[in-house]
Amino acid sequence: MHPRLPSGVVLDTGRGGLGRLAIDTDICAAELYLHGAHLCRWQPRSQPHPVLWMSEASRFESGAPIRGGVPICFPWFGPKAGDPSAPVHGVARISSWNLDGVTREADGSVNVRLSLDSGTLASPHVLHDLRLAYELRLGRDLSMAFTVTNPGDAPITFEAALHTYLAVGDVRQVSVAGLEGAAYLDKVDGARRKIQADALVTIGGETDRLYVDTEAAVTLTDPSLGRRIRVEKTGSRSSVVWNPWVAKSKAMPDFGDDEWPGMICLETANAADNAVTVPPHASHTMTATISVEAS
Query: Known catalytic residue: 61?
Result: no
Smallest Cα–Cα separation from 155: which of 279, 284, 282, 283? 279
Tell me how far apart the alpha carbons of residues 65 and 271 are, in angstroms, rounded to a whole number: 19
Q: For 136, list phi and psi in degrees, rounded to 5.
A: -120, 140
User: Would you say 93 and 18 are in contact if contact means Cβ atoms under 8 Å apart?
Assistant: no
Query: Known catalytic residue: 105?
Result: no
Question: What residues contact 295, with CB distance under 8 A and at least 6 apart?
Answer: 221, 222, 223, 226, 227, 228
Closest contact distance (angstroms) between CB of 274 and ligand TA6 is 14
Tell me how far apart the alpha carbons of residues 74 and 94 are, in angstroms, rounded to a whole number: 10
The residues that touch ligand TA6, with contacts defined as CB under 6 A, are 65, 78, 88-89, 163, 187, 208, 240, 242, 252, 265, 267
Of residues 35 and 163, the one with the C-beta less far from ligand TA6: 163
Q: At 247, which helix (H) or strand (E)?
A: helix 245-251
Task: Give the strand pairing for 160-162 and 72-73.
Answer: antiparallel
Indicate which residue of 159, 232, 259, 267 is catalytic.
Answer: 267
User: Would you say 56 and 142 are in contact if contact means Cβ atoms under 8 Å apart?
Assistant: no
User: Would you say 54 and 63 are in contact if contact means Cβ atoms under 8 Å apart?
Assistant: no
Q: What is the dihedral of CA 60, 108, 149, 88, to 10 degrees?
A: 20
Closest contact distance (angstroms) between CB of 108 and ligand TA6 is 33
Indicate which residue of 163, 232, 259, 284 is catalytic.
Answer: 163
Tell me how far apart the alpha carbons of residues 76 and 160 are, in angstroms, rounded to a whole number: 6
Of residues 88 and 199, the one with the C-beta less far from ligand TA6: 88
Tell me how far apart the alpha carbons of residues 295 and 292 are, in angstroms, rounded to a whole number: 9
Of residues 9 and 162, the one with the C-beta less far from ligand TA6: 162
Closest contact distance (angstroms) between CB of 225 and ligand TA6 is 22
Of residues 70 and 102, the one with the C-beta less far from ligand TA6: 70
Helix/strand/coil for 94: helix
The length of the chain is 295
Of residues 257 and 293, the one with the C-beta less far from ligand TA6: 257
Closest contact distance (angstroms) between CB of 241 and ligand TA6 is 8
User: Would you say 75 and 32 are in contact if contact means Cβ atoms under 8 Å apart?
Assistant: no
Closest contact distance (angstroms) between CB of 71 and ligand TA6 is 6
Closest contact distance (angstroms) between CB of 100 and ligand TA6 is 26
Of residues 38 and 227, the one with the C-beta less far from ligand TA6: 38
Q: Catalogue the active-site residues.
A: 163, 267
